[in-house]
């Protein structure tokens, strides 16, 4: 017995991107742990990437996929620098929150 599976359309990908972005926004607004905050920002970036790729495929244009490539490169650089700083701070003060990190401004 075979099941007939419908192929996902662009609308499905756009809805998934919107849901993922919403989860990321809620995480940024609610959470105070800097590591969770970084994960939520990355979730939002990936949601936007999914939207770019879905629309690029729909329109038959490579521009969206090229943009996603550059966003992923910048996100990787942000993760390396940001997580290095956050891990260094959390080693000194294990229960640090984003409010505590705001006090570190010169």
Residue with tokens 């959470």: 31
Domains of the chain are: 10-102 (1.10.287.3510)
Give this prediction's pTM.
0.78
| CA 106 – CA 100 distance, rounded (Å) | 13
1-45 confidence digits (pLDDT tens): 556 677 888 999 999 999 999 999 999 999 888 888 888 999 999
Residue 100, pLDDT > 80, answer no
Helix (H, G, I), strand (E, B) or coil at 101: helix
Structure confidence at residue 4 (pLDDT)? 60
């Amino acid at each position: 017995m075979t099941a007939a599976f419908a192929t996902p359309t662009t609308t499905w990908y756009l809805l998934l991107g919107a849901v993922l972005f919403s989860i990321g926004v809620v995480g940024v607004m609610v959470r105070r742990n800097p590591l969770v905050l970084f994960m939520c920002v990355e979730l939002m970036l990936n949601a936007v990437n999914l939207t770019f790729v879905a629309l690029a495929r729909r329109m038959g244009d490579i521009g969206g996929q090229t943009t996603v490539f550059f966003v992923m490169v910048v996100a990787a650089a942000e993760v390396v620098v940001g997580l290095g700083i956050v891990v260094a701070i959390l080693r000194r003060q294990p229960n640090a929150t984003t409010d505590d990190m705001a006090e570190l401004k010169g």
